[in-house]
Structure 1
Amino acid sequence: MTEQNIPEPPTPPQRTQSGEQSSDDNAPVLQPDIDPAVVAEHLREDEHHRHRRRMSRDHVRRIKRKKRIRRALIALGVLVLILIALCAWLGVSALKAKSEMESAVAIASKIQSSVKSGDTNQVKADIEQFSQHIDATYAQTKQPVWALATLTPHYGSDVKAVREAVRILEDVSINALPKLAQSAEALDLNSIGVENGTIQLGNMAQAAQDLTAANEVIADANVSLSNISGTHIPQLTNALNKGTKAFNTLASLTDTVSRMADVMPKMLGLAQDSNNTARNYLVLAQNNSELRATGGIPASWGTLSVNQGKLSVGTFEAPSEQWMFSDEESKTTLTADERVLFSSKMATRYQDINFTPDFPRTAKLAEQVWQRAGHGDVDGVLSVDPVFLQRLLSVTGPVTLSDGTVLSADNAAQILLNQTYIDKATGREQDAFFTMAASEVFGHILTDMGGKNRQLVEVFQQSVTDGHLYVWSAHEDEQERLQDTAISGALTSNPSQPVTGVYFNDATMGKMDWYLKREVTSTYDKTYPSGAKQYTIHIKLTNTADAAQVNAAPDLLRGYDHEGNPRKGEIETILYLYAPDEGRIVDWTQDFDQITMHNELTVGVKTVTLQPGESFETTVHVSVSPSAGDHEMTLRQTPLVD
C-alpha cells in the first residue's frame, strides 16, 4: 500500500488590530473590554431572581399586604392632614362668626334704647351696624367648610342649626333693616309731641307702610328662630338662646312701633283718609287708693276730643248709679265667668266695671254706660290715674288748681289718693275735688308741653309699660292692631307668649289701699321633660297703716265692713292669680277660696284681711305651655303706686 500524503487544513488568517490579515502566528489575542461593576450587577440580579423563585406563596402575600398597608397609611395620613386643615379652617371661621354674632346681639339690645331715647341718627347707625355684623356672620357660615361640617355624625345638626339661624338673620338684614332705617326719620322726637295743645306726629303716617312691611319679615324670622331645636353643645345652645332672646326683644319693639305708627294717625285724625273727622274719647280717671284689677275705681269720667291733632278737654264728672245696668240686665250683660268671679256688681255699680283685669272688656262696658247716660257714642276709651298725671307734671312743672292746691311731680299722687280723703269728710267734696283736679291738670298739660317732646314720650312709654295708661278703640280695625300691645291692657290668650297675672280688687269699701304695700315677684324654677317651664310666684301684702292715725280720719277713708259698720284700719283685699294660657297652677302654700276659669284661663281666688302692721305671704308655682319654648314668662299685675 503506498502511503498517501493528506494535506493539513489551512490555518485561518489572523487579523491585525487595523483589520488586516496577518500570517504572524505570534500575534496577540484581543479580549473584550468588560466593566466589573456591570458584571457584579448582573450577578446580583441573577441571585435575586433565583431567590424569588425560591419564595413561598405566603411570603409573597405578606410582602403584598405590607405594601397595601403602607399605601393605606400614606392615604390616611394625607386624609388626616386634610381634616386637620379643614378643622382649622372651620375653627377660625367659627371664631370670627361667634365674634360677629356677639356684636350683633349687643347692637340689637342697643337699638331698643336708641328708639326709646328718640335719637334718630343713633337708631340708623345701630341698624347699619347690626346689618354689617349679620352680613359678616353669614359670609363665614356660607363657606364650603360649614356645608361639609353638617355631614359629620352627631354634631352635624349643631352646625346646621347655626347656619339656619344666620340664614334667617341675613334675610332680615336684606329685607327688613333697610326699611327700618328709612322709617327712623319718622320716629324723630323733634317732630313728635304736643305744641300749643296740638299733637304732632311728623311723618309717622307715611312711615307706617315701611314699618309694617319690616315688622312682618322680623316677626316671621322670630318664629323661625324660636323653632330651631337645641344643640348638643351647651355653649352653643346658650349662644343661640341668647341671640334668640335678644332678637325676640327687637321683634317686640318693631311690632309695637309698627302698630302705633299705623293706629295713632287714625286715632288722632291725622291720617290721610281721616277726612278731617273729629274724634271723641271717653276718659276714665282711675283712683288707685281703692284698688281695681286695672288700677283703681273709675272715680271721674270726662271727654277728650281730637280734631286734626288739636286737643280739647271736656268737663269731668262723677258718674251716677242711674247710668248702670239693673240686676236683671246684668244677667245678659255679663258672661257666666264674670258673674262667678266678680258678681253682678261689675255691671250694676260704676266703681266695679274694672273688676276684670281685661281692659278692653272694661272699656266696652264704660262705652255702654256712657251711652245710657245720654252722652252719645265715643271713638274709644282712655284710662289714666294720678301716677300718670304726676309723671306728666314732672315734664310740664306744677299746676295750681282753682282752689289754690298746688300739684307737682312730688305730691300729686299723695294729695289725690290720700290727703284729699283726710281733709274732706264727705263723698261729694271728695268727688268734686277729684274731677276738678283731673280736668285742670289735663288742661295744664296740653298748654305747657311744648318743646319737651323727649320727656313726654318717656313718660308715655313708662306708663304704658307699668299699666298706668290704657287705650281702647271703638273702631274694630284699630282695636285689632292695639289688642296685642301693652297699651291695650288685654288679657293674653297666647300660649307661646306666656303671661301670669296677679290682680287685686279692694273689698274694704274705703280708700285704704294707699297703705297697702304689694310685693310680687316671679322666678324661673325648672323645666319639665315635656318642655314646659315652671315658675315661682311670691306674693306679699302688708298693711302699713298706723291704727291711731287712720282711725282719726273720716269713715270714708277707712271704709265699711259687710254689715255697714266703719272699719278700724283693716284692709280687705281679693287676690286673683291667673295661670298662663294652656298652663296651670301647680301648687300653693296658702289655700285658695276657689279655683275657677275666666276666658279659658285658670284663676285662683283668695280673700285676705290685714290689720294694721300685719302681712300675708303666699308662694304659688305655675307652669307654662310647652309651646312657649324659650320665651320667658311675663308677670303682669295691678299697677303699683309710686
Structure 2
Amino acid sequence: MLLTLVVVALGVLAYQGVRTALALRSAAASAQDLRTQVSDGELQQARSTARSLADDASVARRHSDGWLWSAATLTPVVGDDLAAVRDLAQGLDALAGRTPDALALLDAVKGGLRTPDGAIDLGVVEGLRQPVGRLAAAVDTARADVADVRPDDLVPPLAGPAEEFVDQLDSVASMMGSADSALRLLPTMAGGDGRRDYLLVVQNNAEIRATGGLPGSTSVLTVRDGEVSLGNQGNAGAFGFSVDPVAPLSPAEKQLYGTTLATDLRDTNLTPDFPRTASLMSRIADRVLARPVDGVISIDPVTLAQVLRAIGPVEVAGQQLTADNAVDKLLHQPYQTLPDNDAQDAYFRQVSRGMLDAVLSASGDQVALVQVLSEAVRQRRLLVWSATPAEQEVLARYPVAGALPRDTGTHPAVGFYLNDATAAKIQYFLRYDLDLASLGCTDRGQQVVEATMRLRSRVPRPVSQLTDFVTGYGDYAPRGDDRMNLRMYAPTGGKLTALTRDGKAADIQQVVHDGRQVSVLPVLLAPGQEMVVKATFTTRPGQDGTPRLSWTPGIEWAPTSVVARSRCG
C-alpha cells in the first residue's frame, strides 16, 4: 500500500513538473513576444499575448504550489531547484497578472501627456498615479517571491533562465519605482504649486566628462502649471569663473578633480556623481541668474537624436535634424564649419529652442518618446536634481538622479569614468566598450572581479582636415591624439590589485574618496590606435554577490553598465 502511494505521488509530481515546465517555457516565449510588440507599438497584439502570458503563469503557479511540491523541495539534490521553480512561478504569476494594467497605461500615454497647447497635462499625470502604484506593488511582490532564489546554486538548465528573470525583475522594479516616484513628484516639479525654474544643461559628448560631456549649451526652463517656456539661453562659459569655491571641497576632491570643480561650471562634472555636480552648478548659476534655480536637468545630443526617432525630423537653424544626422550636426559639424565660438553659440541657441518647440508640439509616437527617455535615464544621459531636499531625497533612490553607483549589500560596484585632457572635441571619434567578470572569492570571502575596457580612436587621416576646435591647438596633445584621464572606482572597502594597459603593468595615482579607492590612469590614443585596459579589484570580505560595472556614456547609444555572475560559492 505504501509503495503504491509513493508511486502515485511520484507520478503526480512528475505530471506537475511537466505542466509547470511547459507553462514556464510558453510564458518565456510570450514574454519575449510581448517585449517586441510593445517596442514596436503593436498594443493590440500585445493584449492577446499578455493574456496568454497570464494564463501560462497561472498554470505554472498552480502546479508548483501544493503540499506535494513543497515536500519535494525538502529532498536532497533537487530540493533547491524545485523550490526555485516554485518561487519563480509565483513571482511570474504576480507580475503577469498585472500586464493588462501595464498595457492600459501605455494606451493612456499614447493618448498624450500634454494639453493641446503643449503643456504637461497634470490631470492625466494625476490619473496615472494609482495604476502605476498598483503595478509597482505587484513588482515588489514578485521580487519578494524570488528573494530566496540563488541562480548560481541551481542546475545549469535552470540557472540561466532564473538569473535572467531575476535580473529583468530588478530592472522592471527600478523602472516602476522611478515611474511611481516621477508621478508623485511631477505635479509639483512641473509648477503645479507655483513657478519652477530649472537650469537645463546639454552635455557635449565630443569633449568627454565623467557624467557624459562638457557642459555646453545652457538654458533656463520655466514651468508653471505644466506649461514650459524657455528663458535665458547661453553657454556654460558665460557663467564665468568664481574666485572662491561655491562650496567646500574635500581633500580627495581637490586631489582628484582640482579646485575648478567648484569655481567653473564647465568643470563641475569632472566627478561622476551628478547630485554633487548639479548642486555645484546651481550655486554657480545662482550667482549670475536673476533668481535661484529650483533644480538642474541634464541631457545630451545622443539622447536628442533618439528623441527625433520617436517624434520625427525637425527643421531648426535652417536645416533638418533627423535621428540619423543629429549627432553629427550637433557634436561635430558646428566645429568644422562655424568660424568662432559666437557663431557656434548662436547655432546651439537656435537648436535648443527649436528642439524644445518640437518636443512640446510633436504629434509623434508618445509611447516611443517615453521609452526613449526611460532608456536615456538607464544610460545616465537624462539626469535630474532638485534643490528641494524632500524631492531630491526621492530622486536619489533612482537612476534619474545620476548618483555615483555604490555597493548594495553583498553586491560590489566598480566604476570607470573618463575626462578629456585634450581641451578639444576629439572624443567625437572615440569608441569604447567594457566587460566585467567575477574570478571567484578568496578564503576570506573577498570577491575578485576583472573589468576590461577597450578604447578605439577613429580620428580620420589626414588630421589636417580637422579644425583646431576638434583637435585642439597641440597644447595638451599632438593634433589628432586623444588625451584623457580614466578614473577607476573600486568597491567600498575594496582595492585595485592589478592593472595593465595593452598587457603591460601601468603606473597610476591613487586617492581614497568617500571610502572608495580611486585609481587615475592617463590615456593617450593616436589616430586609429586601440588600447585595452584590464583592472582587477578585490572586494572587502562578504561581498560575494553579483558585481556591477558602470561607466561614462559616450557617443554611441548603448548601455552604460553591466553585471557579471558571481563565481563565489
Length-normalised TM-score, structure 1: 0.75
CA 1:627–1:192: 2 relative to 1, 3 Å? farther
Task: Say yes or no: does 1:366 pair with 2:281.
Answer: yes
The separation in 1 between residues aligned to 2:43 and 2:202, in whole angstroms, is 34
CA 1:207–1:518: 2 relative to 1, 3 Å? same
3-state secondary structure, aligned to 1:313:
strand
- For residue 213 of structure 2, the aligned residue among 288, 292, 296 is 296
What amino acid is aligned across from residue 297 of structure 1 in structure 2?
L
CA 1:576–1:237: 2 relative to 1, 3 Å? same
What amino acid is aligned across from residue 215 of structure 1 in structure 2?
A
Q: CA deviation at 1:158?
A: 4.7
What amino acid is aligned across from residue 397 of structure 1 in structure 2?
P
1:61 maps to what in 2?
A: none
2:336 maps to what in 1?
A: 422
- For residue 357 of structure 1, the aligned residue among 255, 263, 272 is 272
Task: Say yes or no: does 1:316 pair with 2:237.
Answer: no
Task: Say yes or no: does 1:192 pair with 2:112.
Answer: yes
2:486 maps to what in 1?
A: 575
1:594 maps to what in 2?
A: 509
1:456 maps to what in 2?
A: 369
2:256 maps to what in 1?
A: 341
- For residue 18 of structure 2, the aligned residue among 82, 92, 95 is 95
3-state secondary structure, aligned to 1:472:
strand
The separation in 2 between residues aligned to 1:355 and 1:571, in whole angstroms, is 17
Task: Say yes or no: does 1:203 pair with 2:116.
Answer: no
2:110 and 2:365 in contact (8 A); partners too? no
CA 1:163–1:560: 2 relative to 1, 3 Å? same
Length-normalised TM-score, structure 2: 0.84
Q: CA deviation at 1:353?
A: 1.0
Stretch deviating more after TM superposition (150-159 or 89-98) = 150-159
Task: Say yes or no: does 1:413 pair with 2:334.
Answer: no
Task: Say yes or no: does 1:305 pair with 2:227.
Answer: no
3-state secondary structure, aligned to 2:334:
helix
3-state secondary structure, aligned to 1:198:
coil
3-state secondary structure, aligned to 1:569:
coil
3-state secondary structure, aligned to 2:234:
coil
Q: CA deviation at 1:539?
A: 2.0
2:422 and 2:476 in contact (8 A); partners too? no
What amino acid is aligned across from residue 459 of structure 1 in structure 2?
V
The separation in 2 between residues aligned to 1:147 and 1:546, in whole angstroms, is 64
The separation in 2 between residues aligned to 1:138 and 1:553, in whole angstroms, is 62
1:592 and 1:606 in contact (8 A); partners too? yes
CA 1:636–1:557: 2 relative to 1, 3 Å? closer
3-state secondary structure, aligned to 1:132:
helix
Task: Say yes or no: does 1:287 pair with 2:204.
Answer: yes
The separation in 2 between residues aligned to 1:494 and 1:223, in whole angstroms, is 20
3-state secondary structure, aligned to 1:227:
coil
What amino acid is aligned across from residue 185 of structure 1 in structure 2?
A
Alignment of 1:260-279 (within 5 A): 260-269=182-191, 274-275=192-193, 277-279=194-196
1:471 maps to what in 2?
A: 384
Q: CA deviation at 1:619?
A: 1.7
**CA shift digits 1:133-177 (9 cap, x unpaired):** 33322322333322443454554455445445555666x36xx94
2:9 maps to what in 1?
A: 86
Task: Say yes or no: does 1:502 pair with 2:416.
Answer: yes
1:637 maps to what in 2?
A: 552
1:588 and 1:621 in contact (8 A); partners too? yes
2:292 maps to what in 1?
A: 377
2:345 maps to what in 1?
A: 431
The separation in 2 between residues aligned to 1:467 and 1:428, in whole angstroms, is 30
Q: CA deviation at 1:193?
A: 4.2
CA 1:434–1:244: 2 relative to 1, 3 Å? closer
What amino acid is aligned across from residue 465 of structure 1 in structure 2?
R
The separation in 1 between residues aligned to 2:368 and 2:82, in whole angstroms, is 46
CA RMSD of aligned residues (A): 3.4
CA 1:620–1:169: 2 relative to 1, 3 Å? same
The separation in 2 between residues aligned to 1:514 and 1:502, in whole angstroms, is 19
1:132 maps to what in 2?
A: 55
CA 1:183–1:589: 2 relative to 1, 3 Å? closer
1:593 and 1:605 in contact (8 A); partners too? yes
3-state secondary structure, aligned to 1:192:
coil
2:453 maps to what in 1?
A: 539
Q: CA deviation at 1:268?
A: 2.3
1:226 and 1:630 in contact (8 A); partners too? no
Percent of paired sites with the same residue: 27
2:428 and 2:555 in contact (8 A); partners too? no
Q: CA deviation at 1:296?
A: 1.5
The separation in 2 between residues aligned to 1:214 and 1:629, in whole angstroms, is 31
2:205 and 2:213 in contact (8 A); partners too? yes
Structure 2: tracts of 5 or more residues without a match: 558-569
Alignment of 1:167-178 (within 5 A): 172=94, 177-178=97-98
3-state secondary structure, aligned to 1:325:
coil
The separation in 2 between residues aligned to 1:339 and 1:97, in whole angstroms, is 58
CA 1:225–1:304: 2 relative to 1, 3 Å? same
Q: CA deviation at 1:414?
A: 2.0
For the pair shown, the structure with the greater C-alpha radius of gyration is: 1
Task: Say yes or no: does 1:522 pair with 2:438.
Answer: no
Alignment of 1:39-58 (within 5 A): none
The separation in 2 between residues aligned to 1:112 and 1:249, in whole angstroms, is 14
1:3 maps to what in 2?
A: none
The separation in 2 between residues aligned to 1:632 and 1:101, in whole angstroms, is 28
Task: Say yes or no: does 1:483 pair with 2:396.
Answer: yes
1:618 maps to what in 2?
A: 533
**CA shift digits 1:581-623 (9 cap, x unpaired):** 5554342213242122333333221111233333332222346
1:397 maps to what in 2?
A: 313
2:564 maps to what in 1?
A: none
Q: CA deviation at 1:633?
A: 2.6
The separation in 2 between residues aligned to 1:553 and 1:158, in whole angstroms, is 60
2:64 maps to what in 1?
A: 141
